[in-house]
């Protein structure tokens, strides 16, 4: 593994189903982030984690939850998917949360909720 991996690459999901998007990094970065990308809206922060064991809400957290049990993994869960959650989801990491370090992004998960 080099950098950030996300799984699955894409998924079609029925409304009401539960779904977990996986994210793993091998750079030992402290901070991790989940974004959704929608046409015309750019990237919007869903949740973040400054370090293992802590999480926080971003700009659009409703309907999503995260956990950070260790440094490497940062899964995003949709408890009961709705069509408005159709989007491309990106996981990212940075070395520290309180510095000017750039973010590294995964390849994304394209999610369609029907």
**Max Cα-Cα span within the chain:** 40
Q: Beta strand 76-78 with 64-66: parallel, antiparallel or unpaired?
A: antiparallel
Q: How far is the CB of 37 from other proteins (least distance, A)?
A: 9
Nearest to other proteins of 67, 105 (CB atom): 105
C-alpha angle with apex 52: 22 to 32, nearest 5 degrees? 50
Tell me phi and psi for residue 62, to 5 degrees.
-65, 130
Nearest to other proteins of 27, 43 (CB atom): 43
> How many Cβ atoms sit within 10 Å of the Cβ of residue 32?
29
Q: How far is the CB of 106 from other proteins (least distance, A)?
A: 5
Q: Enumerate binding residues for other proteins (CB under 8 A).
A: 4, 33, 35, 40-45, 48, 50, 56, 58, 90, 92, 97-100, 102-108
Nearest to other proteins of 53, 56 (CB atom): 56
């Amino acid at each position: 593994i080099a950098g950030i991996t996300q799984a699955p690459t894409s998924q079609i999901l029925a409304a009401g189903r539960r779904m977990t998007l996986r994210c793993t990094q091998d750079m030992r970065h402290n901070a991790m982030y989940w974004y959704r990308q929608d046409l015309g809206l750019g990237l919007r922060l869903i949740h973040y984690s400054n370090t293992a064991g802590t999480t926080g809400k971003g700009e659009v957290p409703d309907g999503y939850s995260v956990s950070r049990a260790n440094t490497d993994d940062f899964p995003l869960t949709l408890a009961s998917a709705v069509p408005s959650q159709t989007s491309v989801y990106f996981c990212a990491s940075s070395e520290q949360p309180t510095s000017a370090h750039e973010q590294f992004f995964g390849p994304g998960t394209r999610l369609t909720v029907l």
